[in-house]
Amino acid sequence: YQATSGIIKIAAPFRYKSKVFKYGTTPNQSKGEKFREEHNPPASVIGATLIYGIATNSMSDIIPAIRNNYYQTQLSKADDQKIDEANLDKTLPEGTTILDNPIIRLIDSGIDMNSLVNEQTGKTAAEELGVSLKPSDVNVDTVFDQNQILKTVLDGTITAKEGQNLLNEIAKLKSIPKAGIGNNNENNTIKFSKQVPNQEILDNLGNADQAMANARNPEAPAKKIRVFDFDDTLARSNSKVLYEMPDGAEGSLNATQFAERAGELEAQGATFDFS
């Protein structure tokens, strides 16, 4: 069943197609056509499952699952390489079977679900799953977050609606221009000697808050620290983000408040000072 023309392979209908075909970077993924007809689940998994079904007289459960969950994707070789690198080229993710939605295999490989289109419906895989990004919000960071959310949707931890709301908030926060903010040496807050992206700012604020919480906790175990830990975390006892509104109103936010309100304040014209 591994032959390209094998009956198991040709039995899989086409469902998705990459919006753009690109080569990968490995020898096998950088020659010939820029796409591969990727079977999902792999044909080898389907073949082994059919043999198991015959041996255990469980074909009545297996055949409907194959009909619903076995298909092909005209996949860009750049994305096919991601499947190889995730070691999922011949198998499904651990803990999943053909009874589960096989899209999890592509998600676990880090493939952008917004880039795969179902040509019958015109919808992207992300839209069909109910957790999608606007084209203007698609980038490496948001796609990573989106895939983490999709995993929790597929395993039933949260609903697609909850996942979409969460992704919308993440995209809103990450849409803030990744510009550094000027230093203000008069304030006892975290100081940055160079421009840094907002995610690094959040990480530093979170580290500072945790460090100070540990410092105040008499039960906390003694811990050796590096120069970076002391200089950029413990030495700043008031880890606040200062902001100023267009009308001159000023305020400050801790790490949690910044994560919750940065997008809203940015939309209102606020400027931030992480000095």
Q: With b meaning 16 or more CB within 10 Å and e meaning fewer, what string describes 93-104?
A: beebebebebbb
* Whole-angstrom distance, CA of residue 117 vs CA of residue 150: 17
* Cα 171 from Cα 25, distance rounded (Å): 29
For 156-169, the pLDDT digits (tens) are 999 999 999 999 99
- The 10s digit of each residue's pLDDT in 232-273 is 333 333 457 788 899 999 988 776 566 667 667 877 888 877
For the chain, what percent of residues have pLDDT higher than 70?
A: 71
272: which 2 tokens?
Answer: 């931030």
**Helices within the chain (DSSP H only):** 7-10, 43-56, 59-69, 77-85, 103-108, 125-129, 140-154, 160-174, 198-216, 227-229, 255-267
pLDDT at 193 over 90: no
pLDDT tens digits along 13-29? 999 999 999 999 999 99
So what's the pLDDT on residue 155?
96
pLDDT tens digit string along 40-83? 999 999 999 999 999 999 999 999 999 999 999 999 999 999 99
User: Does the structure show a pLDDT above 90 at 226?
Assistant: no
Cα dihedral 112/116/122/127 (nearest 10): -30
List the domain boundaries for the chain: 7-129, 198-273
The band of 196, judged by pLDDT with boundaries at 50, 70 and 90, is: very low
Neighbours of 64 (CB within 10 A): 11
Q: Are 160 and 130 in contact (CB under 8 A)?
A: yes
Inform me whether the pLDDT recorded for 127 exceeds 90. Answer: yes
pLDDT at 223: 40
